[in-house]
Structure 1
Amino acid sequence: MSKRGKVWLGVSGLVITEDGKWLVVKKSYGGLKGVWSLPAGFVDEGETVDQAVQREVLEETGIHTEVKGVIGVRSGVIRNEISDNMIIFSLAPLHERIVIKSDELEDAQFLQPSQFANDETASVLLRYLAQSISAPPFPLRKDMNPGTHFGYTAYHVFLPENRN
């Protein structure tokens, strides 16, 4: 816990192929050990959340991705002391050759979401997404500039498309 302090920021990637399959993983440790879930991990210093999700998916599965947008946020408090937050992204794979590059995983596969919509070996979040996802993601915007007074070296926002 000391490495991350008491406020955690994680990212998770819903990687969807052109034919609708989702990239899912089974962790080899922790609370999701042996359970189908989305590739996920923590944001590191010096990276934006979208860079972090691409890095995590690549580190775990060898899949390079394109960020499509944000589809949700998960936030909770652990033992009344740790703020645990995760941004959930929609991504497109640039290829489908899985290479498990991490000792964190037991398995990684592209599967149809219907396979785990009611599967108890899938995480609660994955089951919910498989049963309900339909809204388009909030897309990545890199064209906004808040000005030089803040000193940003990267500035990425995820907002609905401007309808004007």
Structure 2
Amino acid sequence: MAVTIREARLEDSGAITTILRALGWSEHIQQQTFAETQAQIEEWFARLENEQTHTILVAEQQGQVVGYLAVHWYFHLMRGSDGYVSELFIHPDQTGHGIGSQLLATIEEEARRRGCTRLILMNRRIRESYARQFYIKHGWEELGDAAFFSLTLPATSR
């Protein structure tokens, strides 16, 4: 089936919520209601539209959003412009059909158009995509000399 890749729109928030909930591995999202998650995504969309620092693409098949990719564009003092792929998720019922590959190819084209020197991402070793070497098969390389650190901050009210 044909897949269309396009920029996400606010009305895609419900489909993105469905994908995130179907994945089932985010405890935070699983504890929220569907409406709460969707409202949060809509809020982020509005914020990102004002900042103009992100691109969110969706993969659409027969009028249904079945996957999405989010990238943050930023300037790196030593290298120039970079893109950080923070999310690439496909609905579990739609994996293995090349949808993720199409999303990656589209964002690579966009990065080249923007004059980026590289795209980076983090892939947790416990994820199926890591086990399948999804990113390696697409020419990405795992940095053996790097450590990716995380600091979880306490939630604040907005």
Quickly name the TM-score band, shorter chain normalised. under 0.3
Higher relative contact order (CA 8 A, sep 6+): 1
Q: What TM-score does the superposition give when structure 2 sets the normalisation length?
A: 0.26
* Larger strand percent: 1
